[in-house]
Amino acid sequence: MRVAFIGLGTMGEPMALNILKAGHEIVVNNRTKNKEELLAAHGAKRAITPQEAAREAEVIITCLSDTPDVEQVVLGDNGIIYGAQVGSVVVDMSTISPEATCRMADALSKKGIKMVDAPVSGGSEGAMHGTLAIMVGGDSLDVAKVLPVLKAMGTTITHVGPIGAGQITKSINQIIIAGVYVGVAEGMALGLKAGLDMEKVVQAISQGAAGSWVLSNRAMNMINNTYPLGFRVRLHQKDLGIALETARKLGVTLPVAAVVDQIETAVIANGYGDEDVSAVARSIREQSGIR
């Protein structure tokens, strides 16, 4: 298929590479131009604007930071809406507001352009290995059309409902991992203070009921107090903001997510917002006097 990919960040760059490797034609666009070079070296075309990237594409993928960024790239000056062909499908793989997603889908549909929301989980590792979990919202025919491209990036692809349903599913994912990150951080702090060999502790418990992706992949960050990316704390806090807003509208209480939001505020205020989200352990370690 002819694919446009806009947003070559931590996630977007390896996802676009996997699309290329699967044999699709691809044109890339990134705000910071030098980030297009790796893809270009692998055979991707480059476009100066999102509008230009969208022009020839059947499927137009965005993987950007936050809601206003996607709105800018889709609807703003030189945006996708001014370049995309009638019948093409915009697939937004960023994690953003479900409400804004529905509003953008409405604006695009007035021009005969379709939209699917397809946020992902699985971290930078999943993006690199093409093993992301992809939560898809949209019309069945549109989802079927983009499936071959999604398959190049993920192994668990689930059509969960209409447009916006992918983003709500992603919120559920972020609420659950919020508690898990802080739970693992608290466990690691207790073990460090008790003077245990924490590598052995992780080995001992990771196959049991406490086992999780966070324990297996991020506990060592917390033990070593180094937090390479990964997934930025500030992006996870952005996701919790979306979840808390959706929950308030629906009348759902999220007490643990609200506390983790506060812990992340402290981590960001101390200058660690661009570290991996496992840096929530900084807060627990510091409060526990672990240097």
Provide the annotated active-site residues.
170
Which region, judged by CB under 6 A, interacts with ligand NAP, from 4-12, 140-148, 194-202, 203-211?
4-12
User: Sign (positive/negative) of CA torsion 268, 274, 279, 285?
Assistant: negative
Give me the DSSP letters along 13-31. HHHHHHHHHTT-EEEEE-S
Q: Can residue 8 be called a binding residue for ligand NAP (CB under 6 A)? A: yes
Task: Tell me which residue of 77, 133, 122, 71 sits closest to 97, measured CA to CA.
Answer: 71
Site for ligand NAP, residues 207 to 236, rule: CB under 6 A = 230-231, 235
Measured CA angle at 185 (ends 63, 209), to 5 deg: 90
Residue 19, by phi and psi: left (phi above 0), alpha (psi -120 to 50) or beta? alpha
Q: Can residue 9 be called a binding residue for ligand NAP (CB under 6 A)? A: yes
* Type of residue at 113: I
Question: Can you tell me which of 4, 19, 20, 30 binds ligand NAP, judged by CB under 6 A?
Answer: 30
Interaction mask 234-253, ligand NAP, x per CB under 6 A? -x---x--------------
Which of 263-285 are b and which e, b meaning 16 or more Cβ less than 10 Å from the residue's Cβ? Answer: bbeebbeeebbebbbbbbbbbbb
Q: Can residue 53 be called a binding residue for ligand NAP (CB under 6 A)? A: no
Q: How many residues bind ligand NAP (CB under 6 A)?
A: 26
Site for ligand NAP, residues 62 to 121, rule: CB under 6 A = 63-65, 69, 72-73, 94-95, 120-121
Q: Can residue 12 be called a binding residue for ligand NAP (CB under 6 A)? A: yes
| Tokens of residue 47, six digits | 């476009």
**Binding stretches for ligand NAP (CB under 6 A):** 7-12, 30-32, 35, 63-65, 69, 72-73, 94-95, 120-121, 123-124, 230-231, 235, 239
